[in-house]
Chain A
Amino acid sequence: MKLEDLRKIREKAEKELKLREGKARVKIVVGMGTSGIAAGAREVLKAFIDEIEKRNLQDVIVTQSGEKGLSSHEPIAEVWEEGKPVVVYGNLTPDIARRIVAEHIVNGNPVTEYVIEVKEA
C-alpha cells in the first residue's frame, strides 16, 4: 500500500459514512406519510438519492419525515440549507427532483414554479 492508496480508499469510504457524520451542508427532507407515499414520494426520494450520487455531492443528505399536512400538494420535500430559510417544494415528480438537485442545490437557484412555501428554519 502506498500513501496515495490510503487516501483513495479514504475518499471512497468516506461517502459511505457520510450519513453518520451529521455534518451535511444541505438536508433534503421528503414527506413520507401515507398520502405522500401514495402520491409517489418513494420514487421522488429515490430520484433525489440517485441524482446526488451521480453528481457525487458529498455534503448533501436525503432523509424523510412524516405527514406534512399538505396532502393536496404531495409529494412534498423541504430543502434545508445552513443559514438560509427552508424551501418547501410540492407536487414533485422524479424529474423535478433531479432538476432541484441541479438547479437549486448545485447552482443555488430554487425551482420557483414548484415552491409552495418558504419558511424560517
Chain B
Amino acid sequence: MPKRLDILVCSGAACISNDSTTIKNKLQAVLKEHNLEDEVAIVETGCMGPCELGPVMLVYPDGVFYIRLKEGDVEEIVKEHVIKGRPVKRLQWTTPEARKIVEEKKQIPFFEKQLKIVLSNCGKIDPENIEEYIAVGGYEALAKVLTEMTPEQVIDEMIKSGLRGRGGAGFPTGLKWKATREAPGDEKFVVCNGDEGDPGAFMDRAILEGDPHSVIEGMAIAAYAIGAKQGYVYVRAEYPLAIKRLEKAIQQARKYGLLGNNIFETSFSFDIEIRIGAGAFVCGEETALIASIEGKRGQPRPKPPFPAQKGLWGKPTLINNVETFANVRHIILNGSSWFASIGTENSKGTKVFALSGKVNNTGLVEVPMGVTIRELVFDIGGGIPNGKKFKAVQIGGPSGGCVPAEYLDTPIDYESLKKLGTIMGSGGVIVLDEDTCMVNLAKFFLDFTVDESCGQCVPCRIGLKHLYDILDRITKGKGKMEDLETLEKLGEEIKRTSLCGLGQSAPNPVLSTLRYFRDEYIEHIRDKKCRAGVCQFEEAKEEEVSLEKKLKGII
C-alpha cells in the first residue's frame, strides 16, 4: 500500500561507512514505537551524491534533505517532521555562502546544475527491489528491442546517438557493437567492465550499488544486438556491496524471466554471471580483463586482434564500461536524437564524475557534456574550502593530467580535455588547492602506476620506475635541471612504446604537470623550495658527497 511519507536513507558505500545502517535501524525502531510503520516507508537507496555530508536522508513528498545525521537525531525527526510535519531545520542542508536553509532537494545548487540520466534512479529507488526499477520504466527498453526492433536497428540507434565509451578512451559505442556483430563466429560474449581502479573514482561502484538493473538491461540489449547468449560482469573484490546488490539484481531478473531462456517469449536467451577481480589496476585494460575472466594471469596482450574479433576464449566479445551500459536503456526509450541533443558536437549525453579533493561538495555528480570545469568545481562543487586558492583539477586519474586555473572555462568533452593533455578517463575529478605540490602529485600517481605495472613490457616496467626515481630525487632537493628534459623524453618514449593503455598513459601526470607547472619543478631543483610546503628537503649527506668525490677521482 502507498504510504504517506517515503523516507529515503542513502545506502551508498560512503553513507554506510558513515554508519547510515544504524540510522536506518533506529528509524525503523522509532517509527514502530509510534505505530507509524503503515504510514511511512523506509527505502534504502543507492548513492545520492553529496557523500561528504553523509549520512544523508531524503523525505518525500516534500523533498526535505537531511545531512550529517546521528543516531540521536532520528527521534527528533520522527516526532517533529513525521508526526507534526515540521522539518527539523538544524539538520537540513544549508548552502555555505548564505547559510540559508535549502528546503527542497531541487533547490540545492549541488543538484540544480546536474542532469541526471544515468543516475536518475540512484538515490531514488530501492536497488534491491526489481519492482521499483520496473515502476520507473525498467526493462521496457529491453521489451522494446526484443519485440519491435531488429539487432541492426538497435545498433543503428546506438551509432546515431553518438554515445562513446565511458571507461575513458571514448570509442564510439555503436561502432564497437557493429564490429562485434559483424565478426564471424556463432558464439559471442558481452562483458561489463566494472574494474574501476583510479584513485578517487567511484562512479561505477555507485551505479552498480544504486541501480544494478540498468546495467543488466543495457547488457541484455547489447547481447541481443550483437548475438550473444552469455554475459559477464567483472567487478573488483573491493566492492562487496556492489557485488551483493548486483548478485541480488541478477537473481531477481532471473526470477522474473528477464534473464534466462526466451525472454518476453521471444527466441532471445541471455544470462549473466559475475566475475570478481582481485583488484589489479591493469585488469581494467580489456585484454587483461579477458585473461582474468578466463582464469589466467591478468596481463594485457597486443591489439589487434581486438576483443570484437578475438576476445573471451577467442570468441568475438563486446566489452563496455558500467556507465556505458547504464546509458543504453535511456537511448532506446527516448531515441537517439534525444540523446544526441544533449552535450557537445562530438561528445553526446552526460558524464558522471566523482568529485573529490579540496572542494566543498565532494561526491557523485552527473552533468551534460560541455559543462565547463569552472561550473563543475565552483557551482556544483561549491568552490574551495577554507578560503584557499584553486590551483588545478586532476582529471582521469593515473592516466590523466592536470588542468590549471587558466583553463577553467574549458568545456568538459573528450576532445577539449585531450587538447589540454589530459583525458576524460572514467570520471575521477580531484580538485587541488594552493597547498598541493604538483611535483609531489605527479610522484604520487607514478608511485601508483609503478606498483600496478604488470611487468610484461620494458618501457612500462623499467621506464616508469626511472620516472619515479627522478621525481623522488626532485622532491628531495636533489634534482638537476637536465632531469626535466629526461622526464619529458622518457615520458614520451614510454607512451609511444608501451604495450597497453596503462603504460601508454602513465606518464601523463608527469607530462601535464611539467607543461603547466614547470616553475614548480624548477623551484624544487634550483632553489630547493616547495611553494606548497609539502616536500621536505634533506641536506646532502656526508657519505654521498664523499662517494661522489671518490668516483670523480677514479674517472
Contacts and interface: CB of A to CB of B under 8 A. Distances in A.
Contact of A49 (B4, B85, B125, B137): B4
Contacts of B33: none
Q: What class of interface size applies to chain A in its complex with B?
A: 20 to 34
A12 to B, nearest CB: 7
Contacts of A62: 4
Best-surrounded residue of A12, A16, A46 (most CB of chain B within 10 A): A16
Contacts of A18: 2
Nearest to B35: A42
**Secondary structure call for the A interface:** helix
Nearest to A11: B135
Best-surrounded residue of A2, A12, A13, A34 (most CB of chain B within 10 A): A13
A22 B134 contact: no
A110 B365 CA distance: 45
Interface stretch (A63-71, A88-96, A99-107, A113-121): A63-71
Given A6-B143, A18-B2, A1 B131 contact: no
Interface in B528-544: none
B136 interface: yes
Best-surrounded residue of A1, A10, A33 (most CB of chain B within 10 A): A1
Q: What class of interface size applies to chain B in its complex with A?
A: 35 or more
Given A10-B137, A22-B61, A16 B4 contact: no
Interface string A72-97: 00000000000000000000000000
A73 B147 CA distance: 58
Nearest to A65: B85
Contacts of B143: 3, 6
B137 A22 contact: no
Contact of B84 (A6, A14, A33): A33
Contacts of B124: 20
Interface in B1-36: 1-6, 8
Interface in A5-39: 6, 9-10, 12-20, 22, 24, 27, 30-34, 37
B527 interface: no
A30 B39 CA distance: 14
Contacts of A37: 83-84
Contacts of B135: 9-10, 13-14, 16-17
A20 B6 contact: yes
Contacts of A3: 143, 147, 264-265
Given A14-B135, A22-B63, A24-B61, 11 more contacts: A1-B258, A10-B135, A17-B132, A19-B6, A20-B60, A20-B61, A27-B61, A33-B86, A49-B39, A63-B61, A65-B86
16 contacts: A3-B147, A9-B131, A9-B135, A10-B140, A16-B2, A16-B132, A17-B132, A31-B85, A37-B84, A46-B39, A49-B4, A53-B2, A64-B84, A64-B85, A65-B85, A66-B84
Sort A-B residue pairs by CB-CB distance and give the 10 closest, nearest first. Answer: A64-B85, A13-B135, A1-B257, A13-B131, A66-B86, A32-B85, A19-B60, A65-B85, A19-B6, A19-B61
